[in-house]
């Protein structure tokens, strides 16, 4: 008769079971780890010496062989009890071992199979917790991180859909970015019910959850938001602000939560995205922004009239219309209550659930019930304190925990005012530190210098105490660190209340560690926008420290990061940071760091559209470059001033500045500088209608680009040549040049660049009479521009579509879109080349000839009142109809 197949559970703890039989312990942890290794690689034969090296590396070969034999005997007793024949599960030869794949299944394999077939529901059901919690072998830690990363990469499960007409949308997945939570939530039923009532009350806009650190405000806000998803078709959006000290980050954080582009005005982009849809926004950890938030949020709320806000803070913010909702700790159990009643207490349930992560068989029993109830009362029912204490269940009995906590409470109670902070959290933190090895406790304190998280590599560079995957895992095991596995490498962080405590433990070493932290930031190269955003809070924290301790180092760090912040779209935050640091150097002392910082400030102002301030920064930059005698830097500053002049429509000044830059910069000039100088000179000459000179410079720009690996830099020169050819009446050459630019734009894969190129080719197709292809190109251009939030690109799309619609005999829509373009030009002070002005004037002159005054006035008024989202909806619908 065939034997039943064993099922091996490794997620959330060890369990081996088959019908009628369950095993929760083996002889040693090494035996469990050996079985897990064999089960994860069921089709491999494992050499005995390889296994000895992995599991008993400290032993000599003979001792290792003996240890392996003992472990194998323990596995045979568990897996092949009589009357099972030998080798029915575990196949062993003199040199190798393996499991019979058909004799045993694992929850890990089932989880990975569900992930692979994208069965989100089944994968999340199977993930009962971390892989072998409480085990610290290097390969086990790596496996924990790999599986947790796979879980975090899964999309959130949508809540069950409501029937149509009851707040849901027929099973449609509603938009949200609520964080994935990997642990169970206990209690708070009454609080969630009251919060639901408040957040759906049409007379309330702001509800603030208040309470001391560690009481579970963040988790309650997330669970409430998840419960309310169907009530808010605009989405439920979570913005974490614990590490933020600038109120501007509130709107930027919401923009990032909505995954909107970082170009353009953040509030405008958010308002356009959310519109009038009922939306819930959760702003988490606002207490450090109380004064600034009280000033910034009312205007924010006025712009988002259909949005409700759920805030979390240790104190009320004092906002107009704010409804304060204090939350207390979880209800406390009575030690004398019967076991059945204690089992329903939320504080005890939370403690036991988290304890099982450290000791899978942990539970509430008649023997430990009174002790656990007493311990939960000492922990005051505070969720964070309960989790910190429960993490030691694998090493201490409930009685030992209670005794140690009583002693620690007496010490901590003398150190801190009970009213100032929740005493139980601080006591639990100090107790945890005293139980950890000294080097890990020291590391915990040193990691508090990071803001916004850190990687293992960063911890190794900054901390003095050894930072390894093992030590970080130990801190995670005891709820002193959290980890995010959604990126390419794991990123660790501390809850703010934990970080505050850790910082207090630094003592006199704090200043030296913060200098190490700053030096680490000076030494790293952030290659991507994602890396720049990840280290933003670390940079801000380091700069705040350096402004007081070492202004010259602050300037040096600012000069290193400003370009990265520009690329990441952090315009407002970057300007605020640089202006603050530059104020420390009012006399502009000659310095390369000062020159780079001023140049970066000018670029940030330029991309924000504040050309006057950009010019001031570049003029200061030029003076500093002259003072230090850096001819190349002088040329760069003059080139930037020429670019400003082009943006302001002062083409004569632009030509002078750019020509001076060509003279100042020593030869051979860097290829990219050569490309930019010739391209901008071409633009200036084109605007002055000096077409032969423009052609010369655009051609030189294309030639110089041959020495640059990224051909994208030639795009503007190709389009410049196309514009010159059009002005000179050569439509075929013009289209050829614009298509060359389009091909390079597609290689670069930048939406704004692609959309610009498509619209220029569409213009050529209109001039050739191919209106259908022109419409297709404009439709694709709209798809690219929609994500960019670039006002001039939107204006060009309006103008070209209006021109197409006049040719297609749809003048009403042409008038509407042309009016929206007029609105963009007036609102955002967009400067137009002469050719664009002439083309627009032709359409303006044509429309009164083919529309009645009443219809024209109506469409012009409608276009002026369009929002960006409505414009794109109407434009796409119109082009789709044209192409049908």
Distance CA 698, CA 692 (A): 10
What pLDDT shows up at residue 171? 44
What pLDDT shows up at residue 167? 41
What pLDDT shows up at residue 694? 94
491 within 8 A of 483, measured Cβ to Cβ: yes
**Nearest to residue 801, comparing CAs of 860, 879, 698, 871?**
879
* Cross-strand bridge partners of residue 484: 491
Distance CA 786, CA 659 (A): 36
Distance CA 736, CA 757 (A): 12
Question: Residue 28, SS3?
Answer: coil
596 within 8 A of 559, measured Cβ to Cβ: yes
Distances from the Cα of 97 to the Cα of 64, 90, 293, 495, angstroms: 15, 7, 64, 45
Distances from the Cα of 648 to the Cα of 162, 383, 463, 638, 829, angstroms: 54, 58, 50, 15, 9
What pLDDT shows up at residue 310? 94
Give the chain's end-to-end CA distance (angstroms, integer).
Answer: 68
Distance CA 874, CA 365 (A): 66
83 within 8 A of 39, measured Cβ to Cβ: no
What pLDDT shows up at residue 158? 43
Distance CA 865, CA 203 (A): 28
Distances from the Cα of 99 to the Cα of 43, 49, 54, 525, angstroms: 8, 17, 18, 46
Phi, psi (rounded to 5 degrees) for 436? -80, 155
781 within 8 A of 758, measured Cβ to Cβ: yes
* Cross-strand bridge partners of residue 21: 18
Compute the Cα dihedral for 317, 322, 324, 325 and give only its sign. negative
Place of tokens 């010490």: 411
What pLDDT shows up at residue 78? 84
Report DSSP letters for 417-485, one per residue: -TTTS-HHHHHHHHHHHHHS-HHHHHHHHHGGG-SS-B-HHHHHHH-SS---HHHHHHHHHTTS-EEE-
DSSP state of 163: P
Report DSSP letters for 239-280, one per residue: EE-TT---THHHHHHHHHHTT--SSS-HHHHHHHHHTTS-EE
Token pair, residue 225, equals: 């938001």
With a cut of 50, list the residues of the chain below it in pLDDT: 1-2, 156-171, 413-421
Q: Quick one: 264 exposed, middle or buried, by C-beta within 10 A (0-12, 13-18, 19+)?
A: buried
The pTM assigned to this predicted structure is 0.61
- For the chain, the helix, strand and coil percentages under 3-state DSSP, each to the nearest 5: 60, 5, 30
139 within 8 A of 54, measured Cβ to Cβ: yes
56 within 8 A of 70, measured Cβ to Cβ: no
270 within 8 A of 258, measured Cβ to Cβ: yes
The H-or-E segment that residue 46 falls in is strand 46-47
Question: Residue 377, SS3?
Answer: helix
Distance CA 531, CA 521 (A): 12
Using alpha carbons only, how large is the chain's radius of gyration in Å? 33
Write a three-state SS string for 380-425: CCCHHHHHHHHCCCCCCCHHHHHHHHHHHHHHHHHHCCCCCCCHHH
What pLDDT shows up at residue 730? 93
Find the angle CA(666)-CA(672)-CA(673) to the nearest 5 degrees: 40
Q: Is 6 left (phi over 0), alpha (psi -120 to 50) or beta?
A: beta
339 within 8 A of 366, measured Cβ to Cβ: yes
Token pair, residue 545, equals: 């420290």
């Amino acid at each position: 008769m065939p034997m039943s197949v064993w099922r091996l559970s490794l997620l959330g703890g060890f369990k081996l079971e088959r019908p009628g039989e369950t095993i929760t312990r083996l002889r040693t942890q090494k035996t469990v780890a050996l079985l897990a290794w064999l089960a994860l690689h069921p089709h491999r034969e494992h050499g005995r010496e390889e296994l000895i090296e992995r599991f008993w590396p400290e032993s000599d070969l003979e001792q290792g062989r003996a240890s392996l034999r003992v472990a194998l005997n323990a596995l045979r007793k568990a897996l092949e009890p009589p009357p099972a024949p030998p080798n029915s599960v575990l196949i062993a030869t003199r040199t190798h071992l393996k499991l019979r794949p058909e004799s045993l299944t694992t929850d890990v394999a089932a989880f990975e199979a569900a992930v692979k077939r994208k069965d989100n529901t089944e994968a999340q059901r199977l993930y009962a917790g971390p892989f072998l919690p409480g085990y610290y072998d290097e390969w086990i830690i790596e496996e924990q991180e790999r599986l947790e990363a796979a879980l975090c990469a899964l999309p959130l499960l949508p809540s069950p859909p409501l029937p149509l007409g009851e707040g849901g949308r027929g099973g449609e997945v509603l938009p949200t970015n609520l964080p994935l939570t990997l642990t169970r939530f206990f209690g708070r039923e009454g609080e969630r019910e009251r919060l639901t009532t408040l957040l759906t009350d049409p007379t309330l806009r702001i509800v603030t959850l208040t309470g001391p650190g560690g009481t579970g405000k963040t988790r309650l806000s997330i669970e409430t938001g998840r419960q309310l998803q169907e009530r808010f078709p605009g989405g439920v959006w979570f913005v974490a602000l614990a590490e933020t000290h600038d109120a501007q980050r509130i709107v930027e954080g919401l923009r990032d939560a909505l995954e909107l582009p970082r170009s353009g005005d953040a509030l405008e982009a958010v308002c356009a995205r959310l519109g009038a849809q009922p939306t819930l926004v959760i702003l988490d950890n606002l207490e450090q922004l109380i004064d600034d938030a009280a000033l910034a949020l009312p205007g924010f709320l006025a712009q988002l009239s259909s949005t409700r806000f759920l805030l979390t803070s240790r104190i009320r913010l004092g906002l107009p219309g704010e409804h304060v909702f204090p939350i207390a700790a979880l209800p406390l159990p009575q030690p004398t209550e019967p076991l059945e009643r204690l089992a329903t207490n939320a504080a005890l349930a939370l403690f036991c659930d988290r304890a099982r992560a450290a000791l899978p068989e942990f539970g509430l029993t008649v023997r430990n019930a009174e002790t656990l109830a007493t311990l939960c009362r000492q922990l005051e029912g505070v969720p964070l304190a309960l989790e910190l204490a429960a993490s030691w269940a694998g090493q201490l009995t409930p009685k030992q925990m209670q005794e140690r906590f009583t002693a620690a409470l007496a010490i901590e109670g003398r150190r801190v005012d009970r009213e100032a902070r929740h005493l139980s959290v601080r006591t639990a933190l100090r107790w945890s530190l005293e139980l950890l090895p000294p080097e890990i406790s020291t590391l915990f304190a040193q990691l508090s210098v990071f803001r916004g998280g850190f990687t293992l590599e960063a911890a190794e560079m900054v901390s003095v105490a050894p930072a390894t995957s093992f030590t970080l895992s130990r801190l995670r095991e005891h709820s002193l660190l959290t980890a995010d596995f959604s990126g390419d490498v794991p990123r660790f962080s501390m809850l703010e209340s934990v970080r505050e405590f850790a910082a207090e433990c630094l003592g006199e070493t704090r200043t030296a560690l913060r200098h190490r932290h700053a030096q680490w930031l000076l030494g790293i190269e952030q290659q991507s926008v994602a890396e720049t955003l990840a280290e933003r809070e670390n940079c801000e924290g380091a700069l705040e420290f350096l402004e007081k301790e070492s202004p010259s180092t602050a300037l040096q760090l600012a000069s290193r990061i400003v370009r990265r912040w520009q690329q990441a779209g952090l315009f407002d935050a970057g300007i605020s940071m640089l202006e603050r640091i530059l104020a420390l150097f009012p006399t502009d002392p000659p310095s390369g760091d000062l020159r780079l910082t001023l140049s970066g400030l000018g670029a940030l102002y330029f991309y924000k559209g504040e050309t006057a301030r950009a010019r001031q920064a570049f003029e200061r930059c030029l003076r500093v470059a002259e003072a230090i005698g850096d001819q190349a830097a002088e040329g760069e500053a003059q080139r930037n001033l020429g670019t400003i002049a082009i943006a302001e429509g002062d083409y004569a000044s632009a030509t002078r500045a750019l020509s001076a830059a060509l003279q100042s910069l020593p030869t051979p000039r860097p290829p990219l500088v050569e490309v930019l100088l010739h391209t901008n000179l071409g633009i200036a000459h084109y605007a002055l209608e000096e077409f032969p000179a423009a052609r010369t410079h655009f051609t030189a720009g294309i030639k110089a680009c041959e020495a640059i690996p990224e051909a994208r830099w030639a795009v503007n020169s190709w389009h410049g040549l196309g514009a010159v050819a059009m002005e000179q009446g050569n439509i075929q050459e013009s289209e050829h040049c614009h298509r060359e630019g389009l091909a390079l734009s597609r290689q670069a894969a930048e939406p704004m660049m692609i959309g610009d190129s498509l619209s220029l080719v569409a213009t050529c197709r209109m001039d050739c009479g191919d209106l259908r292809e022109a419409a297709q190109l404009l439709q694709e251009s709209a798809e690219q521009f929609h994500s960019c939030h670039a006002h001039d690109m939107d204006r060009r799309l309006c103008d070209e579509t209006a021109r197409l619609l006049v040719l297609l005999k749809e003048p009403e829509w042409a008038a509407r879109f042309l009016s929206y373009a007029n609105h963009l030009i007036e609102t955002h002070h967009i400067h137009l080349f002469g050719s664009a002005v002439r083309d627009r004037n032709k359409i303006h002159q044509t429309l009164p000839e083919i529309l009645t005054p009443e219809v024209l006035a109506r469409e012009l008024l409608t276009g002026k009142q369009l929002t960006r989202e409505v414009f794109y909806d109407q434009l796409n619908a119109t082009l789709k109809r044209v192409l049908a």
